[in-house]
A and B are shown apart, each in its own frame.
Chain A
Amino acid sequence: MKRSYRGVILLCFVLLLNIICTQQVVNSFFYDRFERVVLFAVCNIVLFPIALWIYFRERDVR
């Protein structure tokens, strides 16, 4: 049985972006750069619906 691993790969990528954003949030917070904190926190939150969307799209792909 051949499976599609596209969803898995895309989600891995989303998670990588999550890690980067979280790291940027913490770093910017440390340096009191609050615009950047907000920017990356929003990115992180937006990534969740994207992940959900990828999941629902790729769930039934065989």
Chain B
Amino acid sequence: MGEDIKRNNDKIPFDENNYTHNIRKAGERRLDRRGFMKTMVGAAGIFAVSTMPWGAIAVKELTGLGSKSHPKQKLANANDLKIGEAIEFAYPGEHDAALLVRLGENEFKAYQNACTHLKCPVFWSKEEGRLVCPCHHGFFDVKTGKPTAGPPQRPLPEVVLSKEQGAIYATGVKRYET
């Protein structure tokens, strides 16, 4: 470094009596251009690796879409339920609470009733004619499952229904369309 600087000018200490700044390690505290670029490449690698699981899950969802069928489950006899009434059931798993509402003579709607805000159970309010989440006053349109007011942003997952011989069956759960 300063080898060619005149040593005996009494400003720069001689090596022999330099007691404080005499530690030299190769590359210590040095981040040169190349080292910086290496770091950047490493960061790019980390980004690539860290998005892989998301991609993998997405691929799984995309390919498994057709085969992901839910069992058919009988919910109720159509005549057990008066117009404007609702019953609760569990679908597709025993912990996936859902709600079946009869809106008209032949009009049934069913949604999984975990609120899309913070998973409170949504209930059917006949008086208000809409689905109500009591926790933070979220409201959902019963015809579409879309949130109409309050904190929820996403629609309730709709349960696909079919009617056979006066009985209502659940056959699947619709995906979010947002």
- A-to-B contact residues, CB < 8 Å: 3, 5, 7-8, 11-12, 14-15, 18-19, 21-22, 25-26, 29, 31-32, 34-35, 37-38, 40-42, 44-45, 47-48, 50-52, 54-55, 58-59
A51 CA to B47 CA in the complex, in Å? 12
A32 and B62 in contact (CB under 8 A), knowing A37-B54, A41-B52, A51-B44?
Answer: no
Which segment of B1-9, B33-41, B143-151 sits at the interface? B33-41
Instruction: Give the shortest distance, in Å, between B144 (CB) and chain A (any CB).
Output: 17
Name B40's contact: one of A3, A12, A35 (CB within 8 Å).
A12
The answer to whether the Cβ of B19 comes within 8 Å of any Cβ in the partner chain is no
Across the A-B interface, how many residue pairs have beta carbons closer than 8 Å?
94
The answer to whether the Cβ of B51 comes within 8 Å of any Cβ in the partner chain is yes
In the complex, which residue of chain A has the Cβ closest to the Cβ of B43? Answer: A15
- B-to-A contact residues, CB < 8 Å: 33-34, 36-38, 40-41, 43-45, 47-48, 50-52, 54-55, 57-59, 61-62, 175-176, 178
Chain B interface helix/strand/loop/mixed:
helix
Instruction: Give the shortest distance, in Å, between B162 (CB) and chain A (any CB).
Output: 24
* A35 and B33 form a contact (CB under 8 A): no
Instruction: Give the shortest distance, in Å, between B49 (CB) and chain A (any CB).
Output: 8
In the complex, which residue of chain A has the Cβ closest to the Cβ of B44? Answer: A51
* A34 and B62 form a contact (CB under 8 A): yes
A54 CA to B57 CA in the complex, in Å? 30
Instruction: Give the shortest distance, in Å, between B171 (CB) and chain A (any CB).
Output: 20
A15 and B40 in contact (CB under 8 A), knowing A32-B178, A44-B47?
Answer: yes
* B55 and A8 form a contact (CB under 8 A): no
A8 CA to B43 CA in the complex, in Å? 13
Beyond the given pairs A31-B178, A54-B37, 6 more chain A to chain B contacts, judged by CB atoms under 8 angstroms and listed by A's residue number, are A34-B62, A42-B55, A48-B45, A48-B47, A52-B44, A59-B34
B residues less than 8 Å from A42 (CB atoms): 55
B residues less than 8 Å from A15 (CB atoms): 40, 43-44, 47
* A41 and B51 form a contact (CB under 8 A): yes
Best-surrounded residue of B41, B44, B52, B178 (most CB of chain A within 10 A): B44
Name B48's contact: one of A26, A32, A48, A58 (CB within 8 Å).
A48
